[in-house]
Amino acid sequence: GENVEQHPSTLSVQEGDSAVIKCTYSDSASNYFPWYKQELGKRPQLIIDIRSNVGEKKDQRIAVTLNKTAKHFSLHITETQPEDSAVYFCAASSSTGGFKTIFGAGTRLFVKA
């Protein structure tokens, strides 16, 4: 079946450094790729998304890149801050054969002050 693999599962960086999280998807019909941030005990919240007709998107310190050929997409966080500490989930979504959104297993990011 379709799946999304996410790496690494845990990432620890020093405040001010960059963090990169990578995802690979299997369903070639996927054309929407959101990223969600989930702080401890809270609900997931969308932080950035990218559609398949775009290769890169940036929003302040956060950027996402997409390589459709390789079925890879990545989240880049620059100048990390302690409040960036959370679990980050990537997802791949398609409408072929019915609505479907597949999430990765998550990356726990620790930003050390």
Partner 1 sequence: DAGVTQSPTHLIKTRGQHVTLRCSPISGHKSVSWYQQVLGQGPQFIFQYYEKEERGRGNFPDRFSARQFPNYSSELNVNALLLGDSALYLCASSQKGQHNEKLFFGSGTQLSVL
Binding residues for partner 1, rule: CB under 8 A, are: 1, 4, 6, 31-32, 34, 36, 42-46, 49, 51, 89, 91, 93-95, 98-106
Instruction: Give the residue with the Cβ less far from partner 1, 50 or 77.
Output: 50
Closest CA relative to residue 33, chosen from 18, 19, 53: 53
Q: What is the rounded CA–CA span in Å between residue 37 and residue 45? A: 5
Q: Kindly state the smallest distance separating residue 14's Cβ from partner 1, in Å.
A: 25
Instruction: Give the residue with the Cβ less far from partner 1, 35 or 77.
Output: 35
Sheet containing 56-59: which strands, arranged edge to edge? 4-7, 19-25, 72-77, 62-67, 56-59
Cβ-based burial of 42 (10 A; exposed 0-12, middle 13-18, buried ≥19): exposed
Q: Kindly state the smallest distance separating residue 22's Cβ from partner 1, in Å.
A: 15
Instruction: Give the residue with the Cβ less far from partner 1, 13 or 29.
Output: 29
Q: Kindly state the smallest distance separating residue 33's Cβ from partner 1, in Å.
A: 9
